[in-house]
Structure 1
Amino acid sequence: MNDLVNRFLRFRRGPWENLATIVIAAGVLMLLQPLSLTLYSYSFAIMLLGTLMFVIVSKFPE
């Protein structure tokens, strides 16, 4: 567990890009689900957050 935290705190591109991709995918799943209007309402904001994260993180060093 400590190794995982250390990898994220070093601001390397790989783990943060993976996290941003997961956030984008969660937003898409929230958009496509038919059960909750609340999840649907927040889906665009979540996808936007993931996209902004990806743009910022792509500037991090390898």
Structure 2
Amino acid sequence: MTGRPDMKPLGWTRWLRRGPWENGAMSVIGLGILMLTQPFSLDLYTYSFVTILGGTLGFVVVSHFPQ
């Protein structure tokens, strides 16, 4: 952040806050798990691992963002 607690974050730090991006990454992981366990489409099952992997890698990257 800016180092000044009395002011709002400026510029790119406003967009790179950890909370919303972590929620998005966890949602992608959850979507991948749903794709893995559904019995209807072989295509969804096929791409479930890639979706879970992408969400996990996204979570690892986002966990280094500032609060």
- For the aligned pair, the TM-score class normalised by the smaller chain equals 0.7 to 0.9
Q: How does 1:1-62 map to 2 (within 5 A)?
A: 10-62=15-67
Give unmatched runs, 5+ long, in structure 1.
1-8
Q: Which runs of 5+ in 2 are unaligned?
A: 1-13
Moved beyond 2 Å, runs of 4+: none
Distance, in Å, in 2 between the alignment partners of 1:29 and 1:18 is: 16
- Larger relative helix fraction: 1
- Pick the structure with greater CA Rg: 2
- What percentage of residue pairs aligned between the two structures are identical? 61
